[in-house]
Amino acid sequence: MRSLRSCAGARRSLLALWIERFIWTDHAELRLGQRGLTTADVEEAIREGHEIREINQGDADWRVEGVRPDGRRFAVIYDNPVSGDASAACVVSAWPLREGGRR
């Protein structure tokens, strides 16, 4: 019999693979370099946070938060599905978060 912990881990792994394709807006690509983020950081945040994403109140459908390898947090907004493709995400923007709060 499997433990709940191992089932939850397997479920997270399957959901992390759910977003397979990323489309980047020109704005998002421009901001990455300006804000010290990488495509890998942002794509990982979307894959890992997609299950617990929040509805975004602005120009994109969803918002998630991620953590860079150095421990600093950042936010990402993205659309999903893209043209009916639930395995695709269109990254609209990403930015570092201030210490201790949302921005």
Could you tell me what percent of the chain has a pLDDT over 70? 80
Mean pLDDT value across residues 22-32: 96
- Residue 20 half-sphere exposure toward CB, CA atoms < 13 A: 5
The per-residue pLDDT for range 73-103, each reduced to its tens digit, is: 999 999 999 999 999 999 999 999 997 656 5
32 secondary structure, DSSP code: H
Domains of the chain, each with CATH number or no CATH: 4-96 (3.30.2310)
Which of 78, 79, 76 has its CA nearest to residue 95? 76
C-alpha 75 chain-centroid distance: 8
Query: From start to end of 1-103, where are the E strands?
Result: 21-24, 54-55, 62-67, 73-79, 88-96
